[in-house]
Amino acid sequence: MLGVGSTDAGNASGRKKDPMKTLAILPMLTLAALSAMAQAPSSGASASSPAKSIGLFAYPKNQQSAEQQLKDENECYSSAKQQTGVDAQAPPPAAPSAEEQQAAQKQAAQQAAAATPKGGAVKGSARGAAGGAAIGAIAGDAGTGAAIGATAGAVRGRRQQKKAQKGAQQQAAEQTAQAQQQAQTEGNAQHQGALDTFKRAFSACMDARGYSVK
């Protein structure tokens, strides 16, 4: 009886140690699982599609595998780039910043003002003097009339010259803004045209390999 009890006690002691062994093994299993997950490729990290990168979708007509389709897309992408000389990933031309636009318009206005004919005050003074002298002669004092007319004519001449300069500046700034907008529009159109050419070359290559590209 003593021997049997001793055996049962030993078994009970062994069973009590099993949970401790399990707890000791758990961290090792967890570490192994994390390591395997890190080494395994993520299902969401699939290779990017060249077709989708340029806004197209390719559908296999002959039940090609995903790996074969990716291979064909890469080869057709390289072929289209070589044939057209177009880099489909190149960004469109950047528009000039607001500061650059304002600087260009200001420079154009200054150049227009500098090109405006000078001497408005002198011409106005001469015309005013002549008119004043005529009026003074009628009144009996041509000299005084000429002096008054010259002063008034000079003032009018300066005003007209400033008005002409201001108009030239405004016109030059508006023309510069229009030219900037037109250049940006033409640049975008050229970029889109090049991209369309690339897409046609890519689609033709994929069509020849048994894909429908939209």
Mean pLDDT value across residues 69-74? 97
pLDDT tens digit sequence for 85-122: 999 988 888 888 888 888 887 887 777 777 766 655 54
Q: Minimal CA–CA distance to 93: which of 173, 177, 196, 195?
A: 195
Q: Minimal CA–CA distance to 133: which of 123, 146, 124?
A: 146
CB 133 within 8 A of CB 145: yes
Q: What is the C-alpha to C-alpha distance for residues 93 and 112, in angstroms, rounded to an integer?
A: 29
Residue 133 has pLDDT above 70, yes or no: no
Distances (CA, A) of 182 to 93, 103, 185: 13, 17, 5
Q: What is the C-alpha to C-alpha distance for residues 140 and 214, in angstroms, rounded to an integer?
A: 94
Lowest average pLDDT, out of 21-25, 58-62, 84-88, 176-180, goes to: 21-25
- What's the longest Cα–Cα distance across the chain? 161
pLDDT tens digit sequence for 176-199: 888 888 888 998 999 999 999 999
The pLDDT, as a whole number, for residue 18 is 58
Which of the two residues, 20 and 156, has the higher pLDDT score? 156
Amino acid at 149: G
Share of the chain above pLDDT 90, in %: 32
Neighbours of 161 (CB within 10 A): 19
Spans of all domains in the chain: 1-40, 98-213
Lowest average pLDDT, out of 20-34, 83-97, 124-138, goes to: 124-138
Confidence of residue 30 (pLDDT cuts 50, 70, 90): low
